[in-house]
Amino acid sequence: MQFKFTCLSLLLFSSAILSYGYVFDCLDDCECDTDDEVIHCHNKPNRDRLQLPQTRLRGFTVLGLTKNNIKVLPSQELLKEKFPDLVAIDIEGNKNFDCSTLEDQYTKIAVLSDCGKEVPLPDNVTVVETVGPPTPECDLKCQSRRHYDSMHEYFLRLWELIKQKLAELTKQSQFFRDLQDFFTEVGKRISEA
């Protein structure tokens, strides 16, 4: 009986996830979302560095690393080598991050951080909901939907923050115009979905 329940739970979970997008486990306890092109690596206080893939991981434009314990990021060159399509990283909520490592280092990747902010990301903010155990109010399919919806909402919020950051940049290099065009196109795609 337990085996049937476990199989049924896995089937429901898989169908719920697949019906809302293709999300799979990747890297070090992260989730790769192919619909939004985001790698989600959130809410792991014991994660102090980004585990890089052994081979290139293409097709992901955003890397979300919020609410971990990351102190430094790999070099821009190494990040672009391992994630060739990467255009933005969110490291908000990493209290021990060394902000001095960002100065003039990342010119091809937009980095969102708490560095220089008067109010950092609050501790009580959950960036992406985790899949919890089923409850009478919210079964496994409901839990999966909440999780996927929170990942999508995170992407939309991040997209708005990146647009704001790009608008603040006074230097309009070709890279930033291309980046702006990319996010405008992503916004259109999301609006049409």
Q: What is the pLDDT of residues 64-86, one digit of tens each?
A: 998 899 999 999 999 999 999 99
Q: What is the pTM of this model?
A: 0.63
Written as one letter, the residue type at 109 is I
Number of domains present in the structure of the chain: 1
Structural domain span for residue 124: 2-192
Buried residues in 47-58 as b, exposed as e (16+ CB within 10 A) = beebeeeeeebe
* 2 burial via Cβ count (<10 Å: 0-12, 13-18, 19+): exposed
Give the distance, in angstroms, between the CA of residue 142 and the centroid of all CA atoms in the same chain.
Answer: 21
| CA Rg value for the chain | 18
For residue 159, what pLDDT band results from cuts at 50, 70 and 90? confident
| Cβ(128)–Cβ(151) below 8 Å | yes
Residue 142 tokens, joined = 């409901």
Q: Read off the pLDDT of residues 6-62 as tens digits, 9 standing for 90 and up.
A: 333 433 344 444 444 578 899 988 989 888 888 989 888 999 999 999 999 999 999
Whether the per-residue pLDDT at 150 is higher than 80: the answer is no
